[in-house]
Amino acid sequence: MTTPSTPTRGYTASKDQLLARLRRVEGQVRGVEKMVDDDRYCIDVLTQISAIQAALDKVALGLLDGHARHCMREGAAEGRADEMAAEMMAAVGRLMKRG
Amino acid sequence: MTTPSTPTRGYTASKDQLLARLRRVEGQVRGVEKMVDDDRYCIDVLTQISAIQAALDKVALGLLDGHARHCMREGAAEGRADEMAAEMMAAVGRLMKRG
Amino acid sequence: MTTPSTPTRGYTASKDQLLARLRRVEGQVRGVEKMVDDDRYCIDVLTQISAIQAALDKVALGLLDGHARHCMREGAAEGRADEMAAEMMAAVGRLMKRG
Amino acid sequence: MTTPSTPTRGYTASKDQLLARLRRVEGQVRGVEKMVDDDRYCIDVLTQISAIQAALDKVALGLLDGHARHCMREGAAEGRADEMAAEMMAAVGRLMKRG
């Protein structure tokens, strides 16, 4: 539900899908909490954490894709193409180094 | 609170700290859901996702550390050192490739 | 030295800088070979490998940046914006997962 | 060929294999230099860089594995197990963050 003043983001088209994925990630994190609480084997907990990282990578790629397709196009039309490319590269760099 | 039959894991000593970190990660994921719901700028959402991944990496390193100090020592005492080293390397490989 | 028929890539502007960085990476790899040949301590060899990965990440970000600024703009002018965004996201995904 | 004073590292057993892999990586880096020199398409260069990073990750995992099997066992026998686990975790952390 967006009001007329809400900007349209690159991910708006797939916002429901994005939210569904994030809720699944939230459930995965709760699952890992339960594994730790139940004293499950460290290696099995680590496998689940890797699965969460993979799921977050997919969410991030979906956001980047929407950004490259929509926001950057709008930015280019406003003469801010270089600024936005620099900003996107900084985000990719953080994702590659993970924070 | 462990019953006598619960195995002692490498992270048992720091279980409370681990659970506190995971609950913070869960809160961060909920924060990202809210950002998406509020149509916040893609790049800001991506910055938060990188922060979650960095937090999960720290949790994973803490688990690995406990595993190397405790479980592997017990495993070595039982003649399973090579098997457990292979298992730990597979876990590290998954963390490096993220799932 | 380019012939008139050579396409101009996003990185052409900084091609010399890119080649200088890659030659430095090549030297770093040879340095690691020498460390292994000299039976240097595993952890020190791993530290050097991490430094090479960081240097390659920088080269990759430089290439991506040029691609986003130049190739994608040309692609957009030719009506291939979506195709090129998808292609770039696949490249980012490979970099995040490292191959 | 080791002299009596050369320490035995975890990777000594597979030193030839390790050196062969590193020389292959060195060749891959030279291949990327040639691609840049020939003005090859950015995305193709990036694909090759991801392949080099995957190859370096394998070398790193091989070194870590040898370290966990051999050096850490020797370290444990000398009462330095905790110190060496901390050192190994720092190396894994650098590999996950890439330097």
Q: pLDDT, tens digit, for every residue of D5-28?
A: 677 787 766 899 999 999 999 999
What is the mean predicted confidence (pLDDT) over D37-59? Answer: 96
Q: How far apart are CA D81 and CA D87, in angstroms?
A: 10
Q: pLDDT, tens digit, for every residue of B37-83?
A: 999 999 999 999 999 999 999 999 999 998 988 888 788 888 888 88
Return the residue of B nearest to C94 by Cα.
B97
pLDDT at C2: 46
What is the mean predicted confidence (pLDDT) over C50-69? Answer: 94
The ipTM assigned to this model is 0.89
More confident residue, B29 or B84: B29
Partner-chain residue, chosen from B65, B72, B93, that has the shortest CB–CB distance to D89: B65
Contacts of C79 in chain A (CB under 8 A): none
pLDDT at A71: 83
Place A9 in a pLDDT band, splitting at 50, 70 and 90: confident
Supply the pTM of this predicted model.
Answer: 0.89
Which residue is associated with the tokens 């301590």?
Answer: C41
Partner-chain residue, chosen from A12, A36, A47, that has the shortest CB–CB distance to B22: A36
Q: Tell me which chains share at least 3 CB pairs under 8 Å with chain D.
A: A, B, C
Q: How far apart are CA D99 and CA D92, in angstroms?
A: 10
pLDDT at D14: 87
Q: pLDDT, tens digit, for every residue of A18-56?
A: 999 999 999 999 999 999 999 999 999 999 999 999 999
The alpha carbon of residue C74 and the mean position of all alpha carbons in its chain are separated, in whole angstroms, by 21
Largest CA distance in chain B: 56
DSSP per-residue letters across chain A: ---TTSPPPTTGGGHHHHHHHHHHHHHHHHHHHHHHHTT--HHHHHHHHHHHHHHHHHHHHHHHHHIIIIIHHHHHHTT-HHHHHHHHHHHHHHHHHT-
